[in-house]
Structure formats: C-alpha cells, structure tokens
Amino acid sequence: MSRLFIFGSLLVLVIIFGGWFGLRFFIQSDAFREWLGRRVGRSLHADAKFEPLTWEGWTFRSAGFSATATGKRKLRSLHMRNLTVHIDWKQLLSGQLLVDLITADEADGVVGKNRAPIPKPEPHPKEFATKLPKFLHPEVKVEQIRVTTTAIHWTTHQGETGQYTGFKLIVTRTGADQWDVITEGGAAQHATYPELQVEHVHALASRDSITIAESKAAVHGGGNIEVTGKIATRKMLDAQLTADFSGIDANPLVPTVWRLGGRTSGQLVYAGDLDRFEHGSVTGTVKIDDATLDLTNLFPTLRKLARFGGLNDVQIDSVQAHVQYKEQQLELSDIRAISQDQIRVEGSCRITPDRLDGEILLGLSPQILGWIPGAEEKVFVDQRAGFRWAKVSISGSPERPKEDLTQRLFAAFRDKMMKEFNGGTKDAVKSLLDLLRQ
C-alpha cells in the first residue's frame, strides 16, 4: 500500500513538473509568440503579431509589435518598438499569464475613421482543440505599460486630422477593463487650431469611456488651458468637456479684418460627438483683457470723434460676453466692453459665416460728446452711470460689418449747425462734415 502511495505521489509530481516545464517550453517557443499575438489582437479587434522573442528568465524582448484593425473599430493601427515584457511565473498555475510590466521605446497609434476598405482577415486555426488543464489556457492580464515616446494620430468624420506626439505614457490596470492613464509632455494639434505644448494628462479609461480627470497645456503664442470631462468610446464619441483657459492671444479667434488684440480667458463647455465636432454645442463665458480693436469697421466715425476728444486711439480695457455656439451660429450675449472710462458697450450679437446681426447700447463720456454738436439732443439721449447712451444696430457680415450710428450722428451734427449758423458758416460746417466722412 505504501509503495502504491509513493508511486502515485511520484506520478503526480512528474505530471506537475512535466506540465510546468512543458508550459515553460511552450511560452518560450514561436508557437507562444503566435498565440500571444492572436490573444492580444483579439482584445484589440485587430490582426496583431510580435517580432521574434528573446528570453532572459521570465523576461522576453521583442524588436516590435504591430496591430491592424479588422473591423469598424476606433483603433486603426498600433506599432511599438523595442518591447521588454516581464511575466509573473507564480501566477501560471492559477490560470493567469500575468504580465507585471511592459516597456517600449516607441509607440505609434492611429485612431478615427479609415476611408480605405478594410481587408477581411484570414481565419486563424483553432487554438488547442483538445481539452487541456486550465493553466495551459492562461488568461492574459497586463498590470502596467510604460512607453518612452508615444504618438497618436486621428482623423475625424469630416477628414480633419490631428496628432498628439512626443509624450511619455504610463498605463496601470486598476480593475477589470479599467486603466489609469498618465501622459507627460508632448505636443498636440488638431486641424488649424493653435498647437498645444502639453504638460500632463491624467485620465481613467474603461471599456466604454475615457474620463479626463486633469490635463494642462500651454498654447502656442502664449496662454494656458486645462481640460476635464468624459468621452464615450463604445460607438459615438459623445463627449462633455470643460476647458478653462487664460492668457490666450485673441487675434486668431476672430475675423482678421477686426484686428482684435488682447489676452483671452474664460470657461467653455463642449457637448457633442467629437467625430462630428462641428455639430456639437459650446457654451460659456469669455473675457478679453487689454484689448485693442480697430473700430473703423463697426464705428468709422467714432474713432475720429474719439481722437478729437483727446484720445489718440481707442483702446478697450476689457471685453466680456456669454458665448453659445451651435451649428455654425455663434451668439454673444451680455456683452460688456469698457474703454478708458470714455466708451462703454453693452448688448448682444449673432454671427454666422455670412451674416452679422446685433443690438447694442453705446455709451460715450461727456468729453467725447462735447466735440459732437447735436449728438446729446438727437442720438445719445439716455443718461446713466456718467455716460450718454444710444442704441446701435449692427448688420452685414463678419468680413463687412455695418452700423446705423454714423449717419444718425452726421444728421444730428448737420441739423444743429445749420440751425445755429447762416451764410458762410454753413460752408465751413459742410467742409467739416466732408472731412469726417473721409
């Protein structure tokens, strides 16, 4: 009986160690490399493969890894170079192929719409047709991925392209299909928007969404921006993102002919499908400090009159407004602008690519109005907060704005002068009016 027990024990040990060494032999074979590529490709819904593996103990190295999408997936391709992978061998008997750490020198991914037809993948042979113990069918789990230099490229539904390149990537598993993602450094740009020098991004990724907990970047040309929010990834890229920004140059944000300078700050919230960005909505508040505005477009007379009043040029101390954008229509409400305690603007405006409509209140100081005979009696009839106020209608297009103030001021000026003076003085008044119209 004792001999039978000893024999049985030895047989069990032989089976265990035989299976152990057989598994280790399999893991270090080309068959394992192909099997691992299929397993990883299945999780990415892609055709994937590793370059030949070299082993040192339970660590293997590969010159490269590549994956190409096999269906309508947001990840189009992924390429990695100089990988090092360490396996926790103690977890093999529990049925897990646990990878402690994957490091790579470079990674390059492409996401978004692929306009080229995707070839149908060739069917792979069935894996392990016979029933083997669980530890010979290990579940692959990765604890952490570190990439020294990473690049991501994307294309939207409208064909706009963008990229986030040159950043360090750290991905850590926090649960089933849940990952903590950290990026450091790099530069990001989409379409013709200003380039961002990224400081860092901290996000939480799952099977269905990406939550941006924190991100910070410097804008090319000056200024900073911080973005938080959530992006769905299952089907549509539905997102709600909040951007807080400060110190950004205002000039690239408005039509060139406006020649608006200054530094922009505020908060904007985007809601919509990122793949159809132009159909989303944007709401929030914007403020421009130390602004400079060429008023000859909207108020050609005002600049001349302000110059007569002792102001060499019209400078806007600050401009602020509530912003609402949807389907190529921008609405600015609660507009407030102040210029050196001499000029104030309040009101609202609606802007489309070919249309400009607005109703504003323009307030001028007595210093300016003193040089415009008839203005207080006929045009700037309301008085409030030390200013005289007039309603102004704005029309035209963003490239060719129009206003109804100039003609009203000239009419008031003419009536005042013609009533008070006669004869040759009228000729002098007419000459002055002609000068102002130039």
Buried b (16+ CB within 10 A) or exposed e, 352-385: eeeebebebbbbbbeebbeebbbbbebbbeeeee
Give tens-digit pLDDT for 39-77: 787 777 788 899 988 888 788 899 999 999 876 667 789
| CB-side neighbour CA atoms (13 Å) of 93 | 7
pLDDT of residue 171: 95
pLDDT tens series, the chain, 438 aa = 565 555 555 555 545 455 545 555 556 677 778 888 887 877 777 888 999 888 887 888 999 999 998 766 677 899 999 999 998 877 766 667 788 899 999 999 998 765 444 444 455 444 444 344 444 556 778 899 999 999 999 988 778 899 999 999 999 999 888 999 999 999 999 988 889 999 999 999 998 899 999 999 999 888 999 999 999 987 788 999 999 999 998 876 666 666 677 889 999 999 998 878 878 999 999 999 887 766 655 555 555 555 555 444 556 788 899 999 998 899 999 999 888 788 899 999 999 989 999 999 999 888 878 777 788 888 999 999 889 999 999 998 887 888 888 788 878 877 877 776 655 555 555 555 554 555
Coil, helix or strand for 158? coil
> For position 227, what pLDDT does the model report?
97
Question: 348 by DSSP, 3-state: which?
Answer: strand
User: What stretches of 275-362 show up as alpha helix (H) in DSSP?
Assistant: 300-308
| Strand (E) or helix (H) holding 16 | helix 2-27
Q: CA–CA separation, 250 vs 318, rounded Å?
A: 12
Query: Are 154 and 163 within 8 A, CB to CB?
Result: yes
Residue 134 dihedral angles phi and psi, to the nearest 5°: -60, -35
- Where are any strands of DSSP class E within 113-237? 139-142, 144-155, 161-175, 178-184, 187-190, 196-206, 209-219, 224-232
Is 0.85 topped by the overall pTM? no
Contact 137, 95 (CB under 8 A): yes
Q: Say how many CA atoms lie within 13 Å of 39 toward its Cβ.
A: 16
CB-CB contact of 270 with 241 (8 Å) = yes
Q: 246 near 219, Cβ under 8 Å?
A: no
Do the Cβ atoms of 182 and 170 come closer than 8 Å?
yes
Please give the Cα distance from 207 to 239 (Å, whole number).
Answer: 15
CB distance 357 to 394 below 8 Å? yes
Dist. CA 249–CA 264, nearest whole Å? 6
Query: With left for phi above 0 and alpha for psi between -120 and 50, is residue 159 left, alpha or beta?
Result: left
Strand duo 355-364 + 161-175: pairing: unpaired
- Helix (H) or strand (E) holding 82, with range, is strand 75-88
CA 305 – CA 339 distance, rounded (Å): 14
- Say what the pLDDT of residue 38 is: 84
Residue with tokens 């408005």: 254
Beta strand pairing call for 139-142 and 96-112: parallel
d(CA 127, CA 12): 26
Q: What is the pLDDT of residue 19?
A: 52
C-alpha neighbours within 13 Å on the C-beta side of residue 223: 24
Residue 388 belongs to what H/E stretch? strand 387-396
